[in-house]
Chains A and B, each alone.
Chain A
Amino acid sequence: MAEKLKLEVSDEIAIKVESMNKWFGSFHVLRDIDLTVNRGERIVVCGPSGSGKSTLIRCINALEEHQTGQIIVDGTELTSDIKNIDRIRSEVGMVFQHFNLFPHLSILENCTLAPIWVRKIPKKEAEETAMHFLEKVKIPEQAEKYPGQLSGGQQQRVAIARSLCMRPRIMLFDEPTSALDPEMIKEVLDTMIELAEDGMTMICVTHEMGFARQVANRVIFMDDGQIVEQNEPKKFFNNPQSDRTKLFLSQILGH
């Protein structure tokens, strides 16, 4: 991997999570989560499966509802008020493990739908924006095709472009490379690195530790629904403090 990115992080707070708890039925998935993300920060969340990483970032754009505590995104508190939720969702982009492109719409339509109907941008302008971002993820020539005609890596890059078209201030990535063939992982990671270079605030749930080393300015390790350890990547990887972290790192880096 290339050398570490050096990027400015501002003092402005983008996301603030305070003593947040969530239960699925009686199962306590997230326990007393405290997390502050500044604008421009790039955070990688890792941990064993079932540790609540995905649930955490899904709470941040209200795909999951939290039960106690506070989540403040971009200065707005997430409550059950649907107007607030829709506003926050249009400011926060999300990329899913399984892409979730809309199979009945062309690539271009996938990218222009929300800008046209949520942001009320004229169709022509939305299409120009969409082409700009499709060029950025290096697949402008696929604009007229349908998602089913693209490879997994291409689909994931379209999904990233679709989120970017809303000009979000924060991007959430939920295991964006886990469903991809090995040779496609790099093209998606390259796109994400480029995004980081542009100063996007990002939270990525991923097991790509190379990516974490290169891009993240903080790595968070979760286990059993709680944040067990967080540190800057160098210290996190070279000198983990908790036993759980050591065990986890030895398992994923051991071979």
Chain B
Amino acid sequence: MSGDNNSFVRKEMISERIPPAAERGLVKWVRENLFSSAFNTIMTFVSLWFIYSIVVAATPWFLNGIWDAETVRECYDLLDGKSGACFAVLNERFPQLIYGFKYPSSDYWRPNLASVLLLVALAPILFRKLPRRLLAFSAVYPFLAFWLIWGGSILTSVSAFLGCVIAIVCYRRFSSRSFAIAVLISLIAANVWWIIGGYIVDLNDSFLALKDVPSRDLGGFMLNLLLGTIAVCLSIPLGIALALGRQSGMPIIKWICVFFIEFIRGVPLITLLFVANVILAFFFPPGTSLDLILRVLIMMTFFNAAYIAEVVRGGLAALSKGQYEAADSIGLDYTQSMRFIILPQALKISIPGIVNVSVGMLKDTTLVSIISMFDLVGMIRGPILSSTDWNGVYWELFGAAAAIFFVICFSVSKYSQWLERQLETDKR
């Protein structure tokens, strides 16, 4: 400033300078995040010491780990008193952990192929940028996977698939008249086809047949993946339908949905699984029974759907009334306004909740070990730990199970975060 008045004219513009050393890069980050106050500094050192002691204690256990041994005793001999893990159990029992102990070992390629194809089938559903034609494969995949995993003639799967196609064609054909009539006709047509198809399959039950594998022979992580994938995939549409039903203006539909949701949410999953395992059998005529896996799947789907319904209801409630009114006012009917306006927005809001519930479901598939199904945890608790060869190898086995689930669940949650960012259009 010059003189005693307030006028000022800059002669030279100030060029841009970098911030001082303490205010940029790593130094700034460390100062602000680790040492911003005395308390934080103490906490930083305590945490560092904590991490250090865990690493120091665990590293030799990992590094000394034995990967090649026949029994736990051989492991201890090889370790010779040193601390070390006995990873050999993972090596030796790998097929049991993944496929269970009864799946025919010559046919391991079948679940392997099914899981690789699962990724192909999921890809176009998860990533919108992929060509839409791939969805045709996703539609065929469930039937293909059934044939691969359970075996039998391919005609069973083909017949089931054709039944679904017939149902969809009938629905399309009659849906312009009335929703109820279209649903009824397509159900009847599909069932008629399935009865006819059943006879055809019985006549040629060796056509392109793979070795039959009964449900009780499925096990290991394959079982977890199977239950988790199917339950999650079925429960999302069912949950959406329940959420919409709960908002319905038709009292009977509304009360059925409310009762279903509240009942299922009020009961622990374990109870439902016991019901599936034991009690459900009393309700079927003697001599007939639903497959145990199917019963468990139904319960898990219902359980997950009830929770997803509540998450989606939250999403629907978060939309302003104006969105419903705007959709109505431009002449969209109920189905169109739900499909194009309400659900895309409500589901976007619901993604974190749906993923949260579904990741929980994936992990809860391990509960089936309690009703004596040999999933990953069931295999570990049962045949492996109780064998004399691998008695007492807890850390390695459960650590491996945790690692497998962590990888899957963490990827799912990362995917959901990515999807949320993709769908962000309404930010100013």
List A residues at the B interface (Cβ < 8 Å). Answer: 61, 63, 82, 86-87, 89-90, 92-94, 96, 98, 100-105, 113-114, 117-118, 146-149, 162-163, 166
Interface string of B309-343 (1 = CB under 8 A from A): 00000000000101101111111110010001100
Q: How many pairs of A and B residues are in contact by the CB < 8 Å rule?
A: 77
Q: Judging by beta carbons under 8 Å apart, are B325 and A103 in contact?
A: no
Q: Which of B322, B328, B425 contacts A89 (CB 8 A)?
A: B328
CB-based contact B322/A98 at 8 Å: yes
List residues of chain A with CB within 8 A of the CB of B332: 113-114, 117-118
- Interchain CB contact (< 8 A) of A118 among B331, B345, B428: B331
User: What is the distance, in angstroms, from A115's C-beta to the closest C-beta of chain B?
Assistant: 9
Q: Top 7 nearest A-B pairs by Cβ distance? A: A90-B331, A100-B326, A103-B426, A100-B322, A94-B329, A114-B330, A118-B331
Main secondary structure, interface of B, reads: helix
- Contact: A63 with B426, CB < 8 Å? no
A101 — which chain B residues lie within 8 A by C-beta? 326
CA distance A134 to B330 in the complex (A): 17
Selected from B326, B333, B345, the residue in CB contact (under 8 A) with A96 is: B326
A163–B328 CA distance with the chains assembled, in angstroms: 12
* In contact, A89 and B330 (Cβ under 8 angstroms): yes
Assuming the contacts A117-B336, A147-B426, A148-B427, asked whether A89 and B326 have C-beta atoms less than 8 A apart, the reply is no
Query: Residues of A contacting B340 with CB < 8 Å?
Result: 102, 105, 113, 117
* B329, closest chain A residue (CB): A94
| Residue B256, interface by CB 8 Å | no
Minimum distance in angstroms from A45 CB to a CB of chain B:
17
B344 at the interface (CB under 8 A from A): yes
Expressed in whole angstroms, the minimum distance between the Cβ of A144 and any Cβ of chain B is 12
Is B323 a contact partner of A102 (Cβ separation < 8 A)? yes
Knowing A100-B323, A117-B340, the reply to whether A148 touches B425 (Cβ < 8 A) is yes
Chain B 333-360 interface 0/1 with A at a Cβ cutoff of 8 Å (1 = within): 1001000110011001000000000000
A103 to B426, CA, bound (A): 5
Cβ–Cβ < 8 Å partners of B331 in chain A: 86-87, 89-90, 114, 118, 166
- Please report the C-alpha to C-alpha distance between residue A146 and residue B423 in the assembled complex, in whole angstroms: 12
- The size class of the interface chain B forms with chain A is 20 to 34
Q: Contact between A102 and B336 (Cβ–Cβ < 8 Å)?
A: no
Question: How many whole Å from A240's CB to the nearest CB in chain B?
Answer: 33
Q: How far is the CA of A147 from the CA of B426 in the complex (A)?
A: 7
Q: Can you list 12 A-B contacts (CB < 8 A)?
A: A82-B333, A86-B331, A87-B331, A90-B331, A98-B320, A100-B323, A105-B340, A117-B336, A118-B331, A146-B425, A148-B427, A163-B330
Contact of A102 among B326, B333, B348, B427 (CB under 8 A): B326
Minimum CB distance partner of A149 in chain B: B428
Residues of chain B contacted by A90 (CB below 8 angstroms): 330-331
Asked if B425 and A118 make an inter-chain contact with CB atoms under 8 angstroms apart, the answer reads no
- Give B231 Cβ to nearest chain A Cβ, in Å: 28
> In the complex the two chains form, is B329's CB within 8 Å of A104's CB?
no
How far apart are the CA atoms of A81 and B423 in the complex, in Å? 37
Known contacts A63-B325, A100-B322, A100-B323; is-contact A162 B348 (Cβ 8 Å): no
Contact status B344-A63, CB under 8 Å? no
Contacts of B328 in A (CB 8 A): 63, 89
Closest-CB distance, B339 to chain A (whole angstroms): 9
The closest CB in chain B to the CB of A163 belongs to B330
Q: How far is the CA of A149 from the CA of B425 in the complex (A)?
A: 9
In the bound assembly, the distance between CA atoms of A102 and B327 in angstroms comes to 9
Expressed in whole angstroms, the minimum distance between the Cβ of A219 and any Cβ of chain B is: 24
Residue of A104, A114, A117 touching B344 (CB-CB under 8 A)? A104
Chain A residue contacts of B333, Cβ below 8 A:
82, 86, 118
Closest Cβ–Cβ distance, residue B426 to chain A (whole Å)? 4
* Alpha-carbon separation in the docked complex, A147 to B427 (Å): 9
Residues from chain A with a CB closer than 8 A to the CB of B341 are 102, 113
A96 and B322: CB pair below 8 A?
yes
Within the complex, the shortest CB–CB distance from B224 to chain A, in Å, comes to 35
- Residues of chain B within 8 A of A105, CB atoms compared: 340
Q: Which residues of B contact A118 (CB under 8 A)?
A: 330-333, 336
